[in-house]
Amino acid sequence: MKTGRIIRSLSGYYDIQLSDGDIERARARGEFRKSKQKPLVGDFVDFESQNNEGFIWAIHQRENSLVRPLVANIDLAVIVTAVKEPDFASNLLDRQLVALEAANVTPLIYFSKVDLLNESEIKHLHQIAVDYQSIGYNVILSDEKNVLKTLEFSLQKKVSVFMGQTGAGKSTLLNHLSPRLGLETGEVSKALSRGKHTTRQVTLIQINEALIADTPGFSSYEVFDFPVEDLDDYFPEFVEKRPGCRFRGCLHLNEPKCAIKEAVAVGTILTSRYNSYKAFYELIKAQKPKYKTDN
């Protein structure tokens, strides 16, 4: 029996990297399907394989996992966020941040396409960057000096996932990090404001001392899979201020003497973040229950 990390999933087969760097291929045993388990890229597994024919026998316990992209045991998630073509959307960025907070994955915000902004737009973006840094998030702008070295340092010795809106430039950024990868990139259709889905499979790619997952882009985000009462747990600035709320279990909507609403009023919590919170609250409340089937 061998142990390794799944680095690629394709058509029912899994490429598994051993500690010595060798890669072997195996399939998942039928028992996983019966127990509704599925190996994910990033999983550590016990398997047997000979001449690339074999089976995965056990999946180790996961530190964390994401649904979109479908990856496990992530140290860092780089949210590649376009500031132009498509235009910056704070609601979408906040959705991704909340999803990562809920999954216990550390985010890094990378603002791409900064070179397309004019002087006043750049000034506004710098304020947005400061605002998110004040919450506690690490932020990198694509026009920073030595930006690739800064990003490489953040990725070093970590398993990272690159995620973000379609057309934000994930594959382009990975090409800059390591030109040998030759990842396919797609032009953004200005008419539809959508990019082509050019990344066809989830793969962990070795770049220097980092393992990076390049995954399909998306222009919307999955529904949130947690109770609405937990939502404020995933806004770090809310967690800091909410002990000042008058009522325990305050939802920060219509309750009197709410520390969150007071912080928004005086500007210590961003109005855009509070608006995202309210929008997500309504979204979760409106979600239909998920019913699992045997299919």
The verdict on whether residue 114 carries a ligand-binding annotation is yes
Is 115 labelled a binding residue? yes
Rounded to whole angstroms, how far apart are CA atoms 87 and 295?
39
172 labelled as ligand-binding? yes
Determine if residue 30 is labeled as part of a ligand binding site.
no
Residues 202, 207, 208: CA angle, nearest 5 degrees: 155
Contact predicate 56/27, CB 8 Å: yes
158 labeled part of a ligand binding site: no
| Among the listed residues 21, 22, 17, the one whose alpha carbon sits nearest the alpha carbon of residue 7 | 17
The answer to whether the annotation marks 168 as part of a ligand binding site is: yes
Q: Is 43 annotated as a binding residue?
A: no
169 assigned to a ligand binding site: yes
112 labeled part of a ligand binding site: yes
**Is 252 part of any known ligand binding site?**
yes
Binding site annotation covers 136? no
Q: Which two tokens stand for residue 170?
A: 């994930």
- Annotated ligand binding at 166? The verdict is yes
End-to-end CA distance of the chain: 31
Task: Report the distance separating Cα 286 and Cα 266, nearest Å.
Answer: 30
Annotated binding site for GTP: 112-115, 164-172
Binding residues: 112-115, 164-172, 245, 250, 252, 258
Binding-site residues from annotation for Zn(2+): 245, 250, 252, 258
